[in-house]
Amino acid sequence: MLALTQAPTAVAAQTGGQGGVNRPTPPVSASTTAVPQETASPAPKTEAEGGIPEIHPSHISVANPPAPAPPAWSLRERITWVANLVLVVLGYVGIMLAVSLLKKIDRQTRYAETAAEAAATSSHAALMTAQAILQAERSWILISVEPSPSAENCFTVMATNRGRTPARILDTAERTRIAIDEDHLPGIPEYGDEKRGAPFTPIILLPGESTAIKPFCRDNAKGLCDSEERFRRIETWEEKIFLYGKVIYKDLTAPVDSEAQESNWCCWYIHGRQNSGLVIAGPQGYNTHT
């Protein structure tokens, strides 16, 4: 009887091991089975013994939940989106208009610069023309040497107004120097600090008029030499007598505070055996006009 009661259990265990299906075991009556009284509860049966199969977490598959549906736009959100889109379009249009305006301003600036340069060139040309006209219309004092009609071997340094407006001679200066040649003259004309015995009287010269500046005669040459030996050197042209000076003048119609002009001159006295001469000579710095 004990063997017969345990036979279904063995068959169920074999069937569960072979087919993988757990079937419940029929209850055993109290008369046929002996339950040990030593243990409080029976030990759990394994899957091979017909118990409940163990489920591991790694074998559990969980399906992804469905994506939530996007929330519907409210009326306020739609109005905000449209307003932002309009602002973006307006901003883009404003930027393009600003860039176009800046390009136009740049072109206008270049045109203005070109016009300003042309105006400056024209004004400079007009200024040069005006200065040329003023220079042509102003008074010009030029120096020349003329022989004396009343005395032989005598000469006079003359100042002549060759301009188109009257000139007023404010002052004159002249000096005499003995040198080997013009290269031995000072680089800049020297006049010293000699004072006049009487104040200079201004002279007004109309266009074409002349006035005497410095007379010189043959007899004056010997008086300039401090010895006979030096006069002999003048006669043999080993040394030369130079006369130089300047004339300071203004246009008669010029303002009182205007700058005065100068005419510088230099002459070489030529001492011959019987006749003498006085000619314009000297370095370039001694014959300048302003």
Q: Say if strands 240-251 and 276-280 run parallel, antiparallel, or are unpaired.
A: unpaired
Query: How high is the pLDDT of residue 199?
Result: 77
Q: Where are the beta strands (DSSP E) in the chain?
A: 141-147, 154-161, 167-179, 203-205, 210-217, 240-251, 261-271, 276-280
Q: Which band of pLDDT confidence, cut at 50, 70 and 90, is reported for residue 151?
A: confident
Name the average pLDDT for the chain: 79
Spatial separation of the C-alpha atoms in residues 225 and 264, rounded to whole Å: 25
Is pLDDT at 223 greater than 90 in this prediction?
no
Query: How high is the pLDDT of residue 61?
Result: 55
Spatial separation of the C-alpha atoms in residues 77 and 252, rounded to whole Å: 92
Instruction: Answer for the pair 204, 165: CB distance below 8 angstroms, yes or no.
Output: no
Write the pLDDT tens digit of every residue in 68-109.
777 777 888 889 988 998 999 999 999 999 999 999 998 889
Query: How high is the pLDDT of residue 2?
Result: 44
Instruction: Answer for the pair 13, 50: CB distance below 8 angstroms, yes or no.
Output: yes
pTM exceeds cut of 0.85 = no
Write the pLDDT tens digit of every residue in 32-59.
444 444 444 555 555 555 555 555 555 5
Write the pLDDT tens digit of every residue in 1-39.
344 444 444 444 444 444 444 444 444 444 444 444 444
User: Residue range 156-182: average pLDDT?
Assistant: 91
* CATH topology (fold) of 141-286: Immunoglobulin-like (2.60.40)
Q: Which band of pLDDT confidence, cut at 50, 70 and 90, is reported for residue 265?
A: very high
Residue 140 makes CB contacts below 8 A (sequence gap 6+) with 161, 162, 163, 167, 263, 289
What are phi and psi for residue 116, nearest 5 degrees? -65, -40
